[in-house]
Amino acid sequence: GENVEQHPSTLSVQEGDSAVIKCTYSDSASNYFPWYKQELGKRPQLIIDIRSNVGEKKDQRIAVTLNKTAKHFSLHITETQPEDSAVYFCAASNGRDDKIIFGKGTRLHILP
């Protein structure tokens, strides 16, 4: 079955700098890659997603890139702000069923 690896597990960046979180997946049939953000005590919220027919998607300060050949996808947050502090989960889904396979999460700390 699908396996999603996520790195790093913890990331601290200075406010205003960029943050990058990287994920790999194992199932070449995966075609949908959502990213969820979970703030302390709150629900995981979808922040951006990408499907396998595109290589990059951007939404304001957030961008996601996908390399299908290498089975890598990454989340990029630019001009980080204190409210970006949270746990971020990458995930993959294969389109044959609705399971979302998650990575273990990255705890992002934005330092003042």
Q: Are 104 and 50 in contact (CB under 8 A)?
A: no
Cα(31)–Cα(97) distance, rounded to whole angstroms?
A: 11
Residue 98 touches other proteins, criterion: CB under 8 A: yes
Residue 92 touches other proteins, criterion: CB under 8 A: no
Cα(106)–Cα(49) distance, rounded to whole angstroms?
A: 17
Residue 45 touches other proteins, criterion: CB under 8 A: yes
Judging by DSSP bridges, how do beta strands 106-111 and 10-14 pair with one another? parallel
Residue 10 touches other proteins, criterion: CB under 8 A: no
Please report how close the Cβ of residue 74 comes to other proteins at its closest, in angstroms: 18
State the residues that interact with other proteins by CB under 8 A: 4, 32, 34, 36, 41-46, 49, 89, 93, 95, 97-105
